[in-house]
Structure 1
Amino acid sequence: MGSLDGIITGFQTAFSLEAILFVILGVFVGTIIGMLPGLGPISAIAVMIPMTFGMEPATALIMMAGVYYGAIFGGSTSSILLNAPGVSGAVATSFDGYPMAQQGKAGKALAIAAIASFTGGTVSVVLLMLLAPALSSVAVSFGPAAYFALMLLGLTAIASLSEGSTIKALISAVAGFMVVTIGIDAQTGTQRYTFGNMNLLEGLDFLVIALGLFAIAEVCSLVLSRKDKSIGDTHNIGSLKLDKKDLKDMSGPMTRHSFLGFILGVLPGAGATIASFISYIFEKRLSKNPEEFGKGSVKGLAAPETANNAATSGAFVPLLSLGIPGSGTTAVMLGAFLVLGVQPGPMLMTDRPEIFWGVIASMYIGNIFLLIINLPLIPYFAKILKIPRPLLISLVIVFSMIGVYAISFNTFDLYMLLLFGVIGFLMRLFSFPAPPFILAFILGGMLEQSLRQALTISNGSLSIFLDDKIALSLLFLALLSFVFPLVKQLRKNKDKATEA
């Protein structure tokens, strides 16, 4: 069966009444779960696997795919309103989304996030349909050396996440590297920084740290700060309408990061979280006014929201074409495929086109319904800010603790949540930025693993990074990314000296 026949079969499957109903169910459940801090699509899909017994495989997988991209879509709500990321892919959304809510523009921020998410999701589905077979070979060509270079490229942007002092940003990043090494070394089995505590053998979960540094730190800041701070302007939610300037500011990031997010999603191991961070950093580097980022920038909100939704579609390329999960969520999805008696891989496109193309075609419908569901509900979501501050603080704490406990059902993680909440508050107090810490934690583990794998393959020779053309290209880009801001800063200093 050719690709065109497969696409027609896929749309026939996706537009059946049963498939449409389950798409709506999947995206609605995903949206709700995405709003709740800590739960995320992995938990939802794992819980739904037993519920799919007896269902048609195509319909069941369409529903679970809807939960996945629906959760990423909905994760922005709690990030924007409460500074409590619902899913890890929405952490970068809080950098500018939450400041907008504090300025009384919660309605506008949610509208920007919804439109950017829809654009990223829809464009990436088109790319998925056109390029899935060809891109599968690209995903395979990324070896350990190329992954190391990609992670290094991401880390060169730490200076862009600094909020004033680059030295403090680097110190924050080093702390992130130290925390990610906690646990058992996967290669040697050696315990690192566990201090004899059995609860630290598996390391610390990302959401424990993210919710601690952002949500609990914000609560500590509100409770302990002497200043009369508030969670947003509780009397002015703001209009949902976007003016011409907003649409103009959004158009560039949405176009760029629909493609960038999709490409990063295709790479196994990258996923929505890394895509959102890299897109945010990339957009800040391109901006003529980078100082606006972190203070309620429309571009700073649109870029990560477009990228994280585009990356979710990209993650289906290695899953469907090669049977390789590109993230934790797609690993659970792979389990769902196998439970339903479907073997994803090169033969899926020809043997089961109704599944391969049906899942892809259903994403068109899912993204449309996500926009229909979310836009009318924005005024109701934004009313969260009108909840009295003491009650809202309590709800943030409760939801954060429930989300963290649901990950491992271990009370030790709750202590870690509170610990990182205090650390996050102290970082704010002494002006140490949290984003470099988070970025280093995300990339550090993969950076170390890729480096060790590459050196093992080459018997310790660094020539592997020069022989691999992809790795060499990425290392060159990393060097430019590192040098360019330094040159830019030197020119500024020179101009100031000349003016003086």
Structure 2
Amino acid sequence: MLSDLLVALQAVATLQNFLIMAAGIWGGVIIGAIPGMTGTMAVTLALPFTFYMDPVPSILLLVALYKGSTYGGSVSAILIKTPGTASAACTALDGYPLAQQGKGGKALNMALYSSCIGDFISNISLIFLAAPLALLAMRVGPPEYCMLMIFALTTVAGVSGNSLLLGLVSACLGLLLATVGEDMYGSFRFALTDDMQGGLSVAPVLIGLFALPELIKLIVFRKAEVEKTMGIGDDRVSGAEFRSCLKSIIRGSGIGVVLGAVPGIGPSAAAFFSYGEAQRGSKNSDNFGKGEIEGIAASESANNGCCGATMIPLLALGVPGDVITGVMLGAFMIQGLTPGPLLFQNNLNEVYMLFIGMLLSSVLLFGAGKMTMRMFTYIARVPATLLTPAVLLLCIFGIYSISNSMFDVTVLLVMGVVGFLMMLLSIPAAPFLIAFILGPMIEENLRRALAISHGDATIFFSSPICWIFAALILFVVSVTLRRELAKSKSKRALNA
């Protein structure tokens, strides 16, 4: 085995492979930072260029793009509250307030450190825990999926702002919007136009909900607020700050590994789940959403912790963990590699090369992040009068380029108005987005489970995994209610 590892290391450690991975990481960071330009788009566009490459360099290029774009989404999320990727939406909750306080550099550094640690832990987990986690994923059926999704939805309580009631209202609106389009049995709901039959895409809803309200706010209240250029300020993360976030980083990385290994969940749910858990266990829970650096650490470690973990079911079972690994599955097949148990028997050397390359890519991500950070920090110095139209055009171009659909652009603009109204009414946007992302998965697995049991609801308590999630749901709900009661008591005491 040691000799195989040395041969794989020698094969990977070439200038060509380093340049390929560096280009992938760098390009992924830049693409991920552009609103609407998702990691899926980056990997898909790069796929044709891998046809004439050797198997391992081609896969390493796609993996590097995936990792770079996952981190890159945090750059625009922090600096202009425009998440480049769906998984970075959670980062914007605390990253943008920190940028407004002149601490954008600090937020970017913490995002980078958390992303690299989460990515490294995810790669280690892929190497040593692929088989056990893959077996666990095989035992997860529709009932377990449904309970897991409901458990993930309880993170709404952690990102509801100052009012749990308004957070629940926001989540209900998100669930309602998630039902637009065709269901799993071919029925159409709220399909007022032909375009609505396919449902609403995540990207225009995400960008419209988080980016456009800020632009509308700048336009509507331009006379009431004095325009000023945001400064980067202190960009150093102190040792004390890093140590205070280390627990959330480790926990977020673990959450990303576990949820990333279960096909279909993805980094968005992992990021919000990790964020909610970090807030519940933090001494500064009241500061979350107002510029808490621990919130950035939790979300970024979780979404990058999914990168290596999504490869676990792909390599061990041949089952893609998300859309991007679905594209990678095609790349494997094109290169004559068949993911699954036979891959470890017939192509063990290639597997070792892939593992080593993924570990090296974590180091390259740190370097690319540092270099790109210096370039993108100038965004914060651009006056709002110039930044507003530029960001608006970028959002519209990014959304239109995904599917060449004017309907998606319309959804973007409508959600911008909705997000602005929610901002005026103090309704938090994060629960809306969480519910919108998780809604289809909850419905699909709920209906599949009930179809299997012929309508018997006891199927949701038919396995130990279901009971574990049910207990966790009750625990989270009880802790949240107790926290809300404590808040109300303290408010009454202050008023008295």
Q: TM-score range by the shorter chain?
A: over 0.9
Q: Kindly provide the CA deviation profile for residues 455-482 of structure 1, in whole angstroms up to 9, marking residues without a partner as x.
A: 1111111121121110111011111111
Which of 36, 39, 45 is matched with 1:38 structurally? 36
Q: 1:286 aligns to what? A: 281
Q: 1:107 to 1:201 in 2, by over 3 A?
A: same
Distance, in Å, in 2 between the alignment partners of 1:489 and 1:430 is: 20
Q: 1:9 to 1:134 in 2, by over 3 A?
A: farther
- Tell whether the 8 Å contact from 1:58 to 1:354 is kept in structure 2 after alignment: no
- Tell whether the 8 Å contact from 1:69 to 1:312 is kept in structure 2 after alignment: yes
Is residue 190 from structure 1 mapped to residue 187 from structure 2 by the alignment? yes
Q: 2:10 aligns to what? A: 12
Q: 1:472 to 1:447 in 2, by over 3 A?
A: same
Return the offset for 1:496: 7.5
Q: 1:262 aligns to what? A: 257
In structure 1, give the amino acid aligned to 2:167: A
Q: Per the alignment, in what secondary structure is the counterpart of residue 290 of structure 2?
A: coil
- Tell whether the 8 Å contact from 1:10 to 1:353 is kept in structure 2 after alignment: no
In structure 1, give the amino acid aligned to 2:187: T
Q: 2:214 aligns to what? A: 218
In structure 1, give the amino acid aligned to 2:483: K
Is residue 56 from structure 1 mapped to residue 51 from structure 2 by the alignment? no
Return the offset for 1:498: 8.7
Is residue 296 from structure 1 mapped to residue 291 from structure 2 by the alignment? yes
Q: 2:355 aligns to what? A: 360
Q: 1:161 aligns to what? A: 159
Is residue 448 from structure 1 mapped to residue 448 from structure 2 by the alignment? no
Return the offset for 1:451: 0.6
Return the offset for 1:9: 4.7
Distance, in Å, in 2 between the alignment partners of 1:42 and 1:468 is: 34
Return the offset for 1:36: 0.8
| Matched ranges for 1:72-221 at <5 A | 72-186=70-184, 188-195=185-192, 197-221=193-217
Which of 400, 405, 427 is matched with 1:405 structurally? 400
Q: 2:246 aligns to what? A: 251
- Tell whether the 8 Å contact from 1:249 to 1:298 is kept in structure 2 after alignment: no
- Tell whether the 8 Å contact from 2:79 to 2:104 is kept in structure 1 after alignment: yes
Return the offset for 1:391: 1.4
- Tell whether the 8 Å contact from 2:116 to 2:366 is kept in structure 1 after alignment: yes
Q: 1:10 to 1:200 in 2, by over 3 A?
A: farther
Q: 1:488 to 1:107 in 2, by over 3 A?
A: closer
In structure 2, give the amino acid aligned to 1:204: L
Distance, in Å, in 2 between the alignment partners of 1:82 and 1:497 is: 37
In structure 2, give the amino acid aligned to 1:79: A
Q: 1:144 to 1:229 in 2, by over 3 A?
A: farther
Distance, in Å, in 2 between the alignment partners of 1:47 and 1:496 is: 54
Q: Kindly provide the CA deviation profile for residues 106-129 of structure 1, in whole angstroms up to 9, marking residues without a partner as x.
A: 111111111111111112111211
Q: 1:467 aligns to what? A: 462
- Tell whether the 8 Å contact from 2:73 to 2:88 is kept in structure 1 after alignment: yes
In structure 2, give the amino acid aligned to 1:218: E
Q: Per the alignment, in what secondary structure is the counterpart of residue 29 of structure 1?
A: helix
Question: TM-score, normalized by length of structure 2?
Answer: 0.96
- Tell whether the 8 Å contact from 1:213 to 1:434 is kept in structure 2 after alignment: yes
Return the offset for 1:184: 0.9
CA-atom RMSD in angstroms: 1.9
Return the offset for 1:364: 1.5
Q: Kindly provide the CA deviation profile for residues 61-118 of structure 1, in whole angstroms up to 9, marking residues without a partner as x.
A: 1111111111101111010011111111111010100110011111111111111111
Q: 1:62 to 1:424 in 2, by over 3 A?
A: same
Return the offset for 1:354: 3.0
Q: Kindly provide the CA deviation profile for residues 153-203 of structure 1, in whole angstroms up to 9, marking residues without a partner as x.
A: 1112212211222221111111101111111112x20111011x1111111
In structure 1, give the amino acid aligned to 2:120: T
Flag structure 2 segments of 5+ consecutive residues without an equivalent. Answer: none
Distance, in Å, in 1 between the alignment partners of 2:356 and 2:486 is: 50
Distance, in Å, in 2 between the alignment partners of 1:135 and 1:8 is: 27
Q: Per the alignment, in what secondary structure is the counterpart of residue 93 of structure 1?
A: helix
Q: Per the alignment, in what secondary structure is the counterpart of residue 37 of structure 1?
A: coil
Return the offset for 1:381: 1.4
- Tell whether the 8 Å contact from 1:65 to 1:359 is kept in structure 2 after alignment: no
- Tell whether the 8 Å contact from 2:34 to 2:394 is kept in structure 1 after alignment: yes
In structure 1, give the amino acid aligned to 2:449: A
Which of 431, 439, 450 is matched with 1:436 structurally? 431
In structure 2, give the amino acid aligned to 1:129: I
Q: Kindly provide the CA deviation profile for residues 206-246 of structure 1, in whole angstroms up to 9, marking residues without a partner as x.
A: 11101001111110111112564478x62521122222331
- Tell whether the 8 Å contact from 1:128 to 1:313 is kept in structure 2 after alignment: yes
